[in-house]
Amino acid sequence: MIEYKGYVGKVEFDAEDEVFHGSIINIDDTVTFAGKSVGALKKAFRDSVEDYLAYCAARGEKPDKPYSGALRLRIDPSLHRRAATAAAKAGKSLNRYIVESVERALRVS
């Protein structure tokens, strides 16, 4: 992973073409980049972010920003009830309980 101005790029290597390529993963718009070396890849990533921001500005559009941290979540009502009950038993808000549960799950994976 690489980061620039809050944008995070995920990188893969294409052995057949001998090139690194990637895309920004923390926005909904599609922004890609590629390079034959690590240095070229990093430059291409920064250039792609700058090009994306310039493109949006030229069109008078707001660029897609990296995720805000606010998440709308739809779950089965019975799961909602169970989570709220477990949070209350733990003396935590439902939000804190869910955040800690996701953090724990991500450490395991």
How far from chain centre, in Å, is Cα 19? 23
The average pLDDT across 46-58 equals: 97
- pTM for this entry: 0.66
For Cα atoms 23, 26, 31, give the angle at the middle one, nearest 5 degrees: 30
The residues that bridge with 33 in the sheet, in sequence order, are: 22
Q: Provide, rounded to the nearest whole percent, the portion of the chain with pLDDT above 90.
A: 87
- Distances in Å between the Cα of 39 and the Cα atoms of 11, 23, 25, 48, 74 are 13, 16, 20, 14, 42
Question: What per-residue confidence (pLDDT) applies to 17?
Answer: 93
User: What backbone torsions phi and psi does residue 9 show, to the nearest 5 degrees?
Assistant: -110, 135
Between CA 40 and CA 51 the distance in angstroms is 16
